Amino acid sequence: MSSKLRRINLGVNCYLLQGETGFVLVDTGPAFARRRLVRELELVGCRSCDLNLVAITHADADHIGNCTWLREHYDAKLAAHEAEAEALRTGSMEGNRKQNPDRIPWFLRLLIPAGKRFGNPQPVEIDILLEDGSSLAPYGLDASIVHLPGHSKGSIGVLTGEGDLVCGDLLWNVVRPRLHPFIDDLGTAKASLEKIRSLPVKTIHPGHGRAFPIEKLP
């Protein structure tokens, strides 16, 4: 069993993993990029009956905008970590974080009002709760779930048998590999970095920016 990984850039990175019995999509991008997402799925032959699972790394609006639509039109199950489920159900990006996050850079503070023009996240009902170590073998993939809190409490990654780690927004690589500028809990985020170092990771695929080798992990 093996997994092929394809990056779909919708302003935020989504990742399509192809296994022996279909596909798993990690994150869905914003709703306004839906046509491009569907075009990318069609390009690789992912039909409505082929999408076995949508794994949600965390509940931010730019990552979950097409979740409910994909469930309705692709009959895909939606999966997330239990610590992220309440934020998804309520459509609140604050429900998975502390009242006062450890790090919010000035430019993200300025972008928050602009981001709300796209609307608040739509509530998403989860079909499957994931935990650290959950296997994706039932969905045709040689891959497992890695709990990587720090950006949010229930943030997860997907680690394939080939050593590819899709890590959501724990890390980004817009200029250089680094922790995401928005960090809910810095101590937890640093612990997640150490956890990644202990795993058989070869390449890291962030939610924003390009993939980079494990040797460049900050």
pLDDT tens readout for residues 70-91: 999 999 999 999 999 999 999 8
Residue 89 DSSP class: H
Least confident of 15-24, 100-109, 186-195, 198-207: 100-109
The pLDDT of residue 40 is above 90 = yes
Cβ(19)–Cβ(2) below 8 Å? yes
Band the pLDDT of 106: cuts 50, 70, 90.
low
Q: What is the pLDDT of residue 207?
A: 97
- Read off the pLDDT of each residue in 93-108 and give the average, rounded to a whole number: 79
Fold of 4-91+124-216: Metallo-beta-lactamase; Chain A (3.60.15)
The pLDDT of residue 53 is above 90 = yes
Cβ(24)–Cβ(56) below 8 Å? no
Listed in sequence order, the residues at least 6 apart from 100 whose beta carbon sits closer than 8 Å to its beta carbon are none
Higher pLDDT, 204 or 106: 204
CA 142, CA 155: separation in Å to the nearest integer? 20
Listed in sequence order, the residues at least 6 apart from 69 whose beta carbon sits closer than 8 Å to its beta carbon are 31, 34
CA 78, CA 124: separation in Å to the nearest integer? 9
Q: Which residue has the tokens 């080798």?
A: 213
Band the pLDDT of 132: cuts 50, 70, 90.
very high
Query: What pLDDT digit, counting tens, does each position of 147-179 carry?
Result: 999 999 999 999 999 999 999 999 999 999 999
Per the prediction, the chain carries an average pLDDT of 91
In three-state secondary structure terms, 9 is strand
Taking CA atoms, 148 is separated from 67, 151, 205, in Å, by 21, 8, 13
Q: What is the pLDDT of residue 122?
A: 78
Q: What is the pLDDT of residue 163?
A: 97
pTM for this entry? 0.93
The pLDDT of residue 98 is above 50 = yes
Q: What is the pLDDT of residue 102?
A: 87
Cβ(135)–Cβ(160) below 8 Å? no
The pLDDT of residue 118 is above 50 = no
Beta bridge partners of 18: 4, 23
Taking CA atoms, 200 is separated from 144, 162, 164, in Å, by 12, 9, 9
In three-state secondary structure terms, 73 is helix
DSSP-assigned states of every residue in 166-196:
E-TTSEEBSSSSEE-S-BS-HHHHHHHHHHH
Q: What is the pLDDT of residue 190?
A: 98
